[in-house]
Amino acid sequence: MRNLTGSGGRRGRYRDRVPSLRNTFSSLSSRALHGIWRRVQSAGAVTARRPGPYAFRRIGTGTRLAFPQGTVFGTPWIELGDHCVIGQDVTLTAGMMPDLDLGPDTVLRLGNGVVLGRGSHIIADTRVEVGDDVFCGPYVYITSTNHSYDDPARPVGKQWPRTAPVEIGPGSWIGAGAVVLPGATLGRNVVVAAGAVVRGRVPDHAVVAGAPAKVVRRLDPEKGWQPPLRTPPPVPVPEGVTPQELLALAELPQQPGGEG
């Protein structure tokens, strides 16, 4: 009986160790896989020095397309400005399909400092201009082409589409999931709410929301924002403050009863 009991005890201890070994192996495998993926992302990113398989007309200094890229074609007619941040799975296309001759002019142009969030699309079958310092949230869709449905006897997808140029003014912000349709012209520092569907002309310093998008707030030269903003403006960081000083300030203990 003592031998059986001892054997059973050893088996129990072995069974207890197996999950621990499995967890250790799983943790090590996960770390290794994530490490490999980070290296793949770094190697697959597209920059001016490492354009990969793409022949962009221009990739500006400091611009980076994260890996993996979305659908990208018509690159000889695409210009990317300096210091653009183009997220993962972003689609950039010039022309209705690959391998078309689109003539001598640039079709899709991003200005300097443009940010395109993950999964966004810019479809430029005709001219699309995105100004400097335009920020787009994730899954924004900007297109110069739309389906037509003039002929009720034919499937919509088989009818020739309509195209019109798109222009987005500098300093604008386009929220997540917004759609900018053919012919849209957005002014300077326009705010497009998340999920809005924009067409037509939007004036400078306007906020649009809804589907179709409508102006819900504008900047009046004399009265300021109308209707007035409901939150106070953020307090800017004083000039001359270093990143190290900001980190030290964040690490200071809070006073009892103080605000966070």
H helices of 211-258, where?
A: 243-250
Mapping DSSP to helix (H, G, I), strand (E, B) and coil, where does residue 244 land? helix
34: annotated active-site residue: no
Write down the catalytic residue from 83, 121, 147, 205: 147
How far apart CA 125 and CA 227 sit, in angstroms, is: 38
The phi, psi pair for 11, rounded to 5°, reads -65, -40
Q: Respond yes or no on whether the N-terminal peptide bond of residue 19 is cis (omega within 30° of 0).
A: no
Q: Which long-range contacts (CB under 8 A, 24 or more apart) does 152-158 make?
A: none
Cα radius of gyration rounded to whole Å, the chain: 27
Which of 127, 23, 21, 137 has its CA nearest to residue 77?
127
CA distance 191 to 189: 7
Query: Which amino acid is present at 120?
Result: S
CA dist 119 and 258 (Å) reads 41
If you ran DSSP here, which 8-state letter would residue 227 be given?
A: S
Active-site positions? Answer: 147
